[in-house]
C-alpha cells in the first residue's frame, strides 16, 4: 500500500508540475523543481507530496507566499487513489487505470482552476499509453470522429478540451466501459449544474466538465455503481 501511495502522489505531482509549463521540452522534463513564485530550486525534502504542504502550512518555504490549494487537493486525491487501488480491484488493468486516472486528475485540477487543459499532457499521456497499455485504434477513430461531429453541431454544449479528453479515453477504455463513463459524467454534471443554477440563478456560468469525467472514471473502474 505504501508503494501505491508514494507512486500515485509522486507521479501526480510530476504531471501537475509539467502541466504548468507553457512550453515543453525534453530538457525541462529533467529540470529540478522550482518555486512557482520566486523560481528558487527546491530541495528534495521539500517535495514530499501532502506532507510538505501541511508542514509548511500551505506556504512556500523560500518566499513564504501562499501555495495554491490545487497542489494539496491533487496530491491528497492521488494518495486516496493509491490506497483504494491496494484494497479494491479495478475493471481495467492496473497500468491502464493508473495512467488514465492520474492524467485525468491532473487535467481535472487544471480545468477547475483555469477552465482549460494543457494539451501537452494529453500528448505525453497518449505516447505513454500506447507504449505501456493495450489500446483500441479502430474504436478510437470512430468515437473521435463522432465526438468531433457533435462538437461542430453543438459548439456551445461542450468544450473542445472535453472532446479531446473523451477521445483520449476512447483509445484505452473498452466501449461498454466508456459508455458508462459518458453516462455517469453527464448525470453528475447535470445534478451539480442544476444545484448551481438553483443557488446562483446564473445560466451563463460555465462548469468544468473534466472533474466529472474523472469521477466517472473512478466510479466505473472501482465498480462503485454496478452495471
| Per-residue model confidence (pLDDT) at position 173 | 96
pLDDT in the model for residue 226? 65
Q: Which domain holds residue 151?
A: 89-227
Q: How many domains does the structure of the chain reveal? A: 2
Among 57, 87, 117, the domain-final residue is: 87
Q: Answer yes or no: do 118 and 222 share one domain.
A: yes
pLDDT at 71: 87
- The pLDDT of residue 63 is 80
Please give the C-alpha separations between residue 45 and each of 3, 42, 49, 148, in angstroms, as whole numbers: 18, 8, 10, 45
Q: Are 47 and 71 in contact (CB under 8 A)?
A: no
- For residue 27, what pLDDT is reported? 67
In this prediction, residue 148 carries a pLDDT of: 94
Q: Are residues 204 and 98 in the same domain?
A: yes
| pLDDT (0 to 100) of residue 69 | 85
One domain, residues 62 and 121 = no
119 and 78 co-located in one domain? no
Whether pTM exceeds 0.85? yes
- Mean pLDDT, each 10-residue run in order, the chain (227 residues): 85 86 67 72 76 81 81 92 89 92 96 90 93 94 95 87 96 95 94 85 78 96 74
Q: Are residues 172 and 220 in the same domain?
A: yes
Cα-trace Rg, the chain: 18
Do 168 and 202 lie in a common domain?
yes
Count of beta carbons in the 10 Å neighbourhood of residue 42: 15
Of 49, 66, 87, the residue at which a domain comes to its end is: 87
**Residue 116: partners with Cβ closer than 8 Å, 6 or more residues away:** 110, 161
Amino acid at each position: 500500500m505504501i508503494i501505491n501511495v508514494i507512486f500515485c502522489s509522486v507521479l501526480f505531482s510530476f504531471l501537475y508540475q509539467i502541466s504548468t509549463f507553457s512550453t515543453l521540452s525534453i530538457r525541462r522534463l529533467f529540470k529540478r523543481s522550482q518555486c512557482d513564485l520566486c523560481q528558487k530550486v527546491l530541495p528534495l525534502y521539500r517535495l514530499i507530496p501532502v506532507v510538505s504542504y501541511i508542514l509548511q502550512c500551505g506556504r512556500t518555504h523560500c518566499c513564504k507566499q501562499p501555495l495554491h490549494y490545487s497542489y494539496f487537493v491533487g496530491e491528497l486525491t492521488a494518495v486516496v487513489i493509491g490506497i483504494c487501488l491496494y484494497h479494491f480491484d479495478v475493471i481495467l488493468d492496473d497500468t491502464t487505470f493508473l495512467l488514465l486516472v492520474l492524467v485525468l486528475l491532473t487535467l481535472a485540477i487544471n480545468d477547475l482552476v483555469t477552465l482549460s487543459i494543457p494539451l501537452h499532457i494529453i500528448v505525453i499521456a497518449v505516447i505513454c499509453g500506447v507504449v505501456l497499455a493495450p489500446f483500441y485504434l479502430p474504436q478510437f477513430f470512430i468515437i473521435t470522429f463522432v465526438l468531433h461531429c457533435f462538437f461542430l453541431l453543438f459548439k456551445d454544449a461542450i468544450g473542445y478540451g472535453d472532446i479531446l479528453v473523451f477521445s483520449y479515453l476512447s483509445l484505452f477504455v473498452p466501449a461498454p466501459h466508456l459508455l458508462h463513463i459518458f453516462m455517469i459524467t453527464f448525470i453528475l454534471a447535470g445534478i451539480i449544474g442544476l444545484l448551481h443554477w438553483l443557488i446562483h440563478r446564473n445560466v451563463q456560468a460555465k462548469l468544468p466538465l473534466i472533474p466529472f469525467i474523472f469521477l466517472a472514471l473512478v466510479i466505473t473502474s472501482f465498480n462503485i455503481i454496478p452495471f
